[in-house]
Structure 1
Amino acid sequence: MISAHLLSRQATRPGQGPLPRFTSHSTALLLQRSLGGQGLPVTHRRVTRAWESTTSTGSHKESGHIDTSENESLLFFNNLFPLKLSSVLLWRPWTSEDLLHRFESSTYSFIDPVRLVKRALNTHDQVPINVTEIIPRLKDGGAFVKFTYPSDMSAAEVESKLSKFLQNNPIKPWFNPFGRIQTGLVEGVPWLEDLYRLPRSRIRVEFVAAKHDESPAELSQETLYSIFRKYGKISEITSQPMDSKVLPRYAYIDFVLVRDAIMARNCMHGFVLREEGSKNATKLRLSYEQRVKAHHIWAWFTSHPRIVIPIVAALIAAFTVAVFDPIREFFVKAHVQKYFEFTNSRLYKWFKSQTSDILAFRRHKSEDAGLNALFTHRKDLIDSVQTGLLESVDTFTVVHGPRGSGKKELILDQVLKGRGDVLVIDCKPIVEARGEAGTIRRLAFEVGYRPVFSWSNNISSLVDLAVQSTTGAKANFSENLESQVVKILQTTASALKQVGLSARKKEDKDADLSEDAWLEAHPERRPVIVIDHFLHKSEEKGVIYDRIADWAAALVQSNIAHVIFLTDDASYSKPLQRSLPDRVFRSVTLGDLSPEVAKKFVISQLQTDTKFAHDGQQESSPDNDEDSDHKSKKEKKNDQPEPLDPQLLAELDTSISFLGGRLTDLQVLARRLKIGQSPQKAVSEIIDSAASDILRMFLLSTKSPPPSPSSSSSSSSSSPDTSKEKKYTTPQAWFLISQLASSTSPSHSLSYNSILLSPPFSTSSSPIPPESALEALANAELITITTSPSGLPSSIRASKPLYQAAFEKLASDATIKARMDLLMLQELMRVEERKVREVEEELVMMVGLMGVRPGEVSERVEYLLGKMRRGQGLVGELEREVGGLKGRLSTSGDG
């Protein structure tokens, strides 16, 4: 209960009924004087800025409080200014003198706040008061009005009459047509601060001592409700916990409306009262408080990461699919149909048609003429592949042949010449890319898949690691390489299906067919996918080839596209058979050209070059009437190729017999002949270059060579791949080279089983099995392993005819042969010495057993002694041979 001497009357608030009311402002001041003189002392002087302050003159400028004299009090008028626009209104000099002058002579429009105050105070002499000062509070959206009243009235009566008048005659501000201006008597001591404390619906009421030597009493919720209910609807009153050690004690009062909280704070700040039963008076210190909202949803999310994280991952994946997949499909279609290539634009095609003679560069014709001559001999293969593209057979087309046999030129330049919807996927840059991000980036580039965020998987992996280390659950944000490859290929398949259906028209006879049925009925409309370098470095990234093969199988079975594989690996049937087990492939094998075709290919390139050179000289001659007849005769004559030198043709037969029919080697020979070299010299230099590359990459290097040493076009600047150790020894490589060089068989081949049983392979100190060593040499394209009809390896020969000549070149060099033989003999010595040591160790053990059971171990001892005798004899012979080779090397010029 509240002390009786503080309750002077019951005030009636419009629309809310009678509420308990404290003493008037003058009574509160008298109580303050009785408790502490002139109120609480000001401990420091507060400096304000004119553009932020509530006023520029008056006593409150120095102390922050408004002083009143006898028969003088304060009213706070609320809802005069918009709260959200208070910072905009600060540009005007809202001074007390200016406002008072405008109040006395106010003729402004309805948006002027002074006019609103004047209307509120216009009670037709029912309240005889005199306004002495107006102090605006822009931050609170109101103003303090200091006034004097007659001695026969009290300030509470003035407030009661004003409230009743405003209830009967509501004044609505221009910015809030649903609200109205309210006024309240300031019963405390307001603090005019210009801090950045915006009004809130929650007020913090602190209970401080009225005197320094007294302890304040904490007010109950009933008392707080009776004090503050008159200012508006209260939603909650929260008292400080009893076990809290925070001083001063406080309580929270939550108003429904912010304007009610503003009124309560400005009217009751600094109010002093004594609750019944309390010895000491309590001063109320009010401030706005930011209400902390209970984040129940966020709290549930953070407390259940095992449920929330998978849901978030699913939402992110769904958003990515919904937003980025259509964009990626568009770019894949643009890549296949070549939307953005300048050569497909109408402007380029028109310009090319108008300037076809000018743009017919001779170098292109000279290079293409040789290939055209070659393709005429492979017309049957071209026709068979083209026929397969017109049939609805759900299987692959595999073009197999050694490197340099012209597989890519045959398919792209002849089979698919003039065809628009062609997607070429080169597996070589994909499998040679560094890291998973590089592999994804290269695969996306090959199919036109963009945008691709290859770096995001690294960040997702870090997030997965952090989540798993903190919660113990896997978030699965990151994807492995296989899942990302599958995602890219699935998007590509969807785009390819749209490409195939792009030629479908509504007026077609079969327009009523479904999409799959229409594609099956029109195999000629399906796009073509060419997968080049299939199984290149298959031992490193086999998962890439498996996913590409599965994807290609799904495409051909769904009648979405035709798929053509270009491969150098003879074992291509194994991975493709796993993806398409119930189909027979269309296989096209490109071998080396026969000597007759190879000779025609070289001659066609030489004759084309001579013809165009002759045409160039003819074009440079002056065009006059006198030479016109001679010119026409030459044009007719130039239609036939000029015959070559018979001596060059004779040497060309011998040169081609050394080079064989590999297309790349023949092109190198033709280029050398064009610059003036003789066939004999050109072949000699090509063989020397190939021998140098073999020596450097297979015999002198300690690292694995590149999988495709192109010695025919290589130079000394090419460097081997030193990324991993060799899977074979140098003596094994040299043994094969020397045996193939001395082979007397017509095909220059060796028996596979005899090589496995030979000393460098059967008695090697390397832990690698001999079969793996031969396979590694075959993958490096030093040799070629042929198989029997039963599928077992049967013979070994050089990977191409040029290498056979290079092997003979290396074997004929005495210094190289002596050095390599020395390495091979030293390897054999190490193996035999190891065997002898093993026998010695076993003999030592047997000597200990002979004292116990001499008859039972004597036979084994005799066997070991004989084996040690033979082994030691072989070591002695090898040492003598090694000594001879060392002497020969020491006397050689480059030993």
Structure 2
Amino acid sequence: MLHSTRAAILRAPQRSPLARRGHPAALHRHPFQTSPRCVAAKNRHASFQAGENDTGHISAGPNEGILFFDNVFPFRVQKVLGVPFASHDAPPGIFSQLLNPSHIGTDPTSVIENAVKKANLSSSVKAIETLWRAREGGAFVKFTHDGSTPSSEIEKTLKEYLQKKNIRPWFSPWSRMRVNLVKGKPWVEDMFRYPTQWLKVEFIPSEPGAEAVELSQEQLYAFFRPYGKLWDITPQPSDSKIVPRYAHLDYSSLARSVMAKNCMHGYLVGEADGGGKKGTVLRLTYEKKVKAHWIRDWLFSHPRVVIPIVAAIVAGITVAVFDPIRTFFVKAHITRTWHLQENRIYKWIVGYATDIIRWRRRKDDDAGMEAVWDDRKGNIEQIQTWLMETADTFIIVQGPRGSGKRELILDQALKEKKNKVIIDCKPIQEARGDSATINAAAMEVGYRPIFSWLNSISGMIDMAAQGATGVKTGFSETLDSQLSKIWNNTTTALRQIALDSRHKDDKDAHLGDDEWLEAHPEHRPVVVIDNFLHKSQESGVVYDKIAEWAARLTTTNIAHVIFLTNDVAFSKSLSKALPDRVFRQISLSDCSPEVAKKFVITHLDADVEDDQPPKDGSEKALPSQTRTDLGELDSCINLLGGRLTDLEFLARRIKTGETPNKAVHEIIDQSASEILKMYIFGSDSADDSSKRWTSEQAWMLIKELATKEMLRYNEVLLSDTYKSHGESALHALEQAELITIVSGPNGRPASIKPGKPVYHPAFKRLTEDTVLRSRLDLAILTDLIKIENATIEKCENELLLLSQLERQPAQLTPRVRYLLGKLAASQAKIEGYESEQKDMKKVLGAEY
């Protein structure tokens, strides 16, 4: 479908008379020139863009030919401008000068005229019609000649001219203008379809009833390679049932694809070229090169690249989105922003209501603690002084369980400190599984949201990816890394809390953040780590991470760190985190008898002090003044000791009406039962692998400590019962709080005493039970007999080996005497043990 240049703009339904007569005005009028007639005709629907008589084809008569020029317009100019034009192949008037071929030197008519003149060809070669194809960036030109010069020669002349002139429009400075002779019957539709580099070639019969021949790749290459570089030729699969048969051509550039399509569409391949007897017509169409599911296939086929990228994206989202949210929640947890008790309105309401209604001032659990705090006033003041100093080290409060460490710190030393966080290691250490441990650690500091369940899923994904790729992807995170995230977010929150006290009008406002934190230790928040080294023998990962995090807080002056621990060997764990620091330590022991008695009496009087006074105006009668059995407290406290939990238990039993002696004996009996259950009968159970001592080892200590208040550490290790894994058993019993190992000079273990003061009378109570004593002593003797029998067996084996020698050297005589003496000594011990066993068996057989 070719137009005259004037008809291309006017979009007339028929060819212009000027064009039909070959009038010069028609040849030189371009589609971007405007006139009143052009403007009036722009809205007409009919157009020669659909070919001659709207057939979509161009016809060429005798002595006529059709050429296609590329690089006349920018490709897809309509798509770039974003709106469809009234004329599908002509841009709006505002671009008429910018894209006018006559102005940019790409007018095909001028090119033909200049090339003909330069080649001295016959003047009868004239361009008679031009069809502009803005969507394809080119134009069709129909020309006439007198027959003396073949069309192929004219094509060659134009190619040589364009190659020599090297015409390059401003919109395409890297590619020049090209021309080719149209060999087929081009289809010049005016639908909104855009060219692509992917061409579909269909093999069509030349006439109805004829058979088309599917051309091979070599034949297709010979036809289409002259128009440009081909990336690939893809024939139709042999088992495909789709007709007509087809093949795909993939050109290296869009311009080459457009040139091939416009020049070869409708080309008849004759019998000589492999098209069959009747010939085969080539039908070309643009196709989008879309591979189904190519994104999914690429992702699944490149796991080594995709999975690390996904992990990085997830980590980036976590850092960018969730970390600020988590830091906000941690900060709110520390500052108690959402705690109702800290609200000013709530405090005012409670204070106003207290003036009207008398509330109980103190809880029963807190009654009597004033006497303890008076006794430990020096420790409280010492801790408060340390919190006001700039010292990058730990504060450690060590004492047995029930000695009041937590109350001393939270209720007294940090009573006026607002910004503090308490981290209890007990629920973290006792959690089962990584997810539970992460949840427990997050709850202690208010770290949320926490997706601990994703840790297990990501672990399975990482395992599957490792099986597929052979390398770890790093998608999953270990417990170590998850805990590090929690502590790092808490560090950020603590730093922000510490710096919130800084103001622009301060005298030292010019200091940096680190310098200001170092200069103002009073503004640092306090981190209290309770139950440190609780069940440390099971796993040390949690404690190692907490110690490293605490060291980072103290060395960077972000917060004060206070450790509360029952373990006397805490320095081994903490020295790894701060190897070059001297710790500030306070050791809490049991209360003195005077303080213990005052604690019990104050606890008894607490309830009466809060009661309403008598109506007769007399003074309230306190239990310490009315009860006559409180004189027994002195002897009872000597038995019970000064452990706060035991004293509180005693006071509660006395409140119920029991006498002090009866209450103490009940406590001793209960402690004795606990000892039997925890350390004797439960130590050898098959389902409890955490016990690292035998019942014989525990009973030996109980029996010895019943008669002596303290044992020598090394003397115990020399006994036959502790020959096997003696030290580990002693340390395990210390962790279980049956005994307490007291350190001597240079920190070495020196002596052993009961774990709690009440255990000493409990040990005596157990040894007074003859049946229990006989049973357990019998077990110890049986164990000792096994040891001596093993010794005798070794001596006999060695003597047998020596007796088998042919000659007995004199040097073997001392060794033989030594073995015989050792054998005799072991035999004598066995006889003595068996004699003792007879007496014990008599007791077991006679008593219940």
**One fold, TM greater than 0.5?**
yes
2:776 counterpart of 1:779: no
2:651 counterpart of 1:670: yes
Residue 299 (structure 1) shift: 11
Rounded to whole Å, the distance in 1 between the matches of 2:772 and 2:680 is 10
The residue number in structure 1 matching 2:662 is 681
Rounded to whole Å, the distance in 2 between the matches of 1:556 and 1:305 is 43
2:311 counterpart of 1:355: no
The residue number in structure 2 matching 1:554 is 552
Rounded to whole Å, the distance in 1 between the matches of 2:408 and 2:358 is 22
* Matched AA of 2:846: T
Rounded to whole Å, the distance in 1 between the matches of 2:307 and 2:566 is 47
2:810 counterpart of 1:810: no
Residue 272 (structure 1) shift: 7.3
For 1:712-764, what per-residue CA distance to the aligned partner results, in whole angstroms no more than 9, with x for missing partners?
Answer: xxxxxxxxx96524221111110100111122xxxx111112211122113xx
* Matched AA of 1:773: A
| Match among 823, 827, 839 for residue 872 of structure 1 | 827
The residue number in structure 1 matching 2:677 is 696
Residue 376 (structure 1) shift: 2.3
Specify whether residues 398 and 15 from structure 1 end up closer, same or farther in structure 2 by C-alpha distance, changes over 3 A only.
farther
**8 Å Cα contact 1:688/1:806 also seen in 2:** yes
Residue 805 (structure 1) shift: 1.2
2:731 counterpart of 1:750: no
* Matched AA of 2:203: F
Residue 891 (structure 1) shift: 2.4
**SS of alignment partner, residue 204 of structure 1:** strand
Residue 513 (structure 1) shift: 2.3
**8 Å Cα contact 1:398/1:565 also seen in 2:** yes
For 1:509-538, what per-residue CA distance to the aligned partner results, in whole angstroms no more than 9, with x for missing partners?
Answer: 322222222223322211111111112122
**SS of alignment partner, residue 790 of structure 1:** helix
| Match among 418, 421, 427 for residue 420 of structure 1 | 418
Number of residue-to-residue matches in the alignment: 693
Specify whether residues 314 and 536 from structure 1 end up closer, same or farther in structure 2 by C-alpha distance, changes over 3 A only.
same
The residue number in structure 2 matching 1:240 is 233
**8 Å Cα contact 1:607/1:644 also seen in 2:** no
Rounded to whole Å, the distance in 1 between the matches of 2:425 and 2:638 is 34
The residue number in structure 1 matching 2:837 is 882
The residue number in structure 1 matching 2:746 is 790
Rounded to whole Å, the distance in 1 between the matches of 2:530 and 2:775 is 40
Rounded to whole Å, the distance in 1 between the matches of 2:844 and 2:306 is 75
Rounded to whole Å, the distance in 2 between the matches of 1:282 and 1:316 is 57
For 1:261-312, what per-residue CA distance to the aligned partner results, in whole angstroms no more than 9, with x for missing partners?
Answer: 9xx89x979x976466444322556777440479999999999987887676
Rounded to whole Å, the distance in 1 between the matches of 2:423 and 2:391 is 22
Which segments of 5 or more consecutive residues in structure 1 lack a partner in the other structure?
A: 1-10, 18-114, 130-144, 148-152, 161-171, 191-196, 227-233, 619-626, 705-720, 763-767
Rounded to whole Å, the distance in 1 between the matches of 2:223 and 2:727 is 98
**8 Å Cα contact 1:221/1:239 also seen in 2:** no
**8 Å Cα contact 2:527/2:561 also seen in 1:** yes
* Matched AA of 2:673: S
**8 Å Cα contact 2:2/2:48 also seen in 1:** no
The residue number in structure 2 matching 1:408 is 406
* Matched AA of 1:795: S
For 1:460-482, what per-residue CA distance to the aligned partner results, in whole angstroms no more than 9, with x for missing partners?
Answer: 44444444444444433444433
2:704 counterpart of 1:739: yes
> Which region of structure 1 is more displaced relative to structure 2, 366-375 or 592-601?
366-375
Rounded to whole Å, the distance in 2 between the matches of 1:254 and 1:15 is 31
For 1:437-488, what per-residue CA distance to the aligned partner results, in whole angstroms no more than 9, with x for missing partners?
Answer: 3322222221222233334443444444444444444433444433433333
Residue 560 (structure 1) shift: 1.6
Specify whether residues 518 and 220 from structure 1 end up closer, same or farther in structure 2 by C-alpha distance, changes over 3 A only.
closer
| Match among 202, 207, 228 for residue 206 of structure 1 | 202
The residue number in structure 1 matching 2:85 is 178
Rounded to whole Å, the distance in 1 between the matches of 2:230 and 2:482 is 57
The residue number in structure 2 matching 1:94 is none
**SS of alignment partner, residue 711 of structure 2:** strand
| Match among 524, 527, 530 for residue 529 of structure 1 | 527
> Which region of structure 1 is more displaced relative to structure 2, 450-459 or 821-830?
450-459
**SS of alignment partner, residue 532 of structure 1:** strand
**8 Å Cα contact 1:396/1:586 also seen in 2:** yes
For 1:662-718, what per-residue CA distance to the aligned partner results, in whole angstroms no more than 9, with x for missing partners?
Answer: 0000111111112222222211221111111110111111358xxxxxxxxxxxxxx
Rounded to whole Å, the distance in 2 between the matches of 1:611 and 1:511 is 52
**SS of alignment partner, residue 840 of structure 1:** helix
**8 Å Cα contact 1:749/1:795 also seen in 2:** yes
Rounded to whole Å, the distance in 2 between the matches of 1:796 and 1:120 is 111
**8 Å Cα contact 2:526/2:559 also seen in 1:** yes
Specify whether residues 758 and 614 from structure 1 end up closer, same or farther in structure 2 by C-alpha distance, changes over 3 A only.
farther
The residue number in structure 2 matching 1:34 is none
Residue 381 (structure 1) shift: 1.7
Q: 1:132-211 alignment to 2 at 5 Å?
A: 176-178=83-85, 180-181=87-88, 202-207=198-203, 211=209
Specify whether residues 821 and 360 from structure 1 end up closer, same or farther in structure 2 by C-alpha distance, changes over 3 A only.
farther
| Match among 673, 696, 720 for residue 759 of structure 1 | 720
Rounded to whole Å, the distance in 2 between the matches of 1:432 and 1:365 is 30
For 1:292-348, what per-residue CA distance to the aligned partner results, in whole angstroms no more than 9, with x for missing partners?
Answer: 479999999999987887676556544433333322222221111011212222332
**SS of alignment partner, residue 741 of structure 2:** strand
**SS of alignment partner, residue 349 of structure 1:** helix
Q: 1:101-116 alignment to 2 at 5 Å?
A: none
Residue 212 (structure 1) shift: 7.0
**TM-score with structure 1 setting the length:** 0.68
Rounded to whole Å, the distance in 1 between the matches of 2:361 and 2:765 is 35
**8 Å Cα contact 2:234/2:249 also seen in 1:** no
Specify whether residues 212 and 867 from structure 1 end up closer, same or farther in structure 2 by C-alpha distance, changes over 3 A only.
farther
Residue 562 (structure 1) shift: 1.5
Rounded to whole Å, the distance in 2 between the matches of 1:199 and 1:573 is 78
Specify whether residues 337 and 15 from structure 1 end up closer, same or farther in structure 2 by C-alpha distance, changes over 3 A only.
farther
* Matched AA of 2:416: G
For 1:537-582, what per-residue CA distance to the aligned partner results, in whole angstroms no more than 9, with x for missing partners?
Answer: 2223323323322322332232221111111111222333343344
For 1:185-234, what per-residue CA distance to the aligned partner results, in whole angstroms no more than 9, with x for missing partners?
Answer: xx99x9xxxxxx999874422325565767455664676799xxxxxxx9
The residue number in structure 1 matching 2:381 is 383
Rounded to whole Å, the distance in 2 between the matches of 1:582 and 1:854 is 61
| Match among 366, 369, 382 for residue 367 of structure 2 | 369
* Matched AA of 2:847: S
Rounded to whole Å, the distance in 1 between the matches of 2:436 and 2:789 is 49
Residue 833 (structure 1) shift: 1.4
Rounded to whole Å, the distance in 1 between the matches of 2:761 and 2:304 is 68
Residue 607 (structure 1) shift: 0.7
**TM-score with structure 2 setting the length:** 0.71
For 1:132-183, what per-residue CA distance to the aligned partner results, in whole angstroms no more than 9, with x for missing partners?
Answer: xxxxxxxxxxxxx899xxxxx99999xx9xxxxxxxxxxx999944363479
For 1:4-43, what per-residue CA distance to the aligned partner results, in whole angstroms no more than 9, with x for missing partners?
Answer: xxxxxxx6467799xxxxxxxxxxxxxxxxxxxxxxxxxx
The residue number in structure 2 matching 1:708 is none
Which segments of 5 or more consecutive residues in structure 2 lack a partner in the other structure?
A: 8-41, 66-77, 90-130, 134-183, 188-192
Rounded to whole Å, the distance in 2 between the matches of 1:722 and 1:837 is 33
Rounded to whole Å, the distance in 2 between the matches of 1:690 and 1:395 is 39
**8 Å Cα contact 2:743/2:749 also seen in 1:** yes
Residue 609 (structure 1) shift: 1.4
2:468 counterpart of 1:507: no
**8 Å Cα contact 2:204/2:212 also seen in 1:** no
Specify whether residues 368 and 857 from structure 1 end up closer, same or farther in structure 2 by C-alpha distance, changes over 3 A only.
closer
Rounded to whole Å, the distance in 2 between the matches of 1:872 and 1:198 is 108
Q: 1:365-514 alignment to 2 at 5 Å?
A: 365-514=363-512
| Match among 725, 731, 734 for residue 769 of structure 1 | 725
2:541 counterpart of 1:543: yes
2:247 counterpart of 1:250: yes
2:785 counterpart of 1:829: yes
2:838 counterpart of 1:845: no
The residue number in structure 2 matching 1:63 is none
**CA RMSD, aligned part only?**
4.6
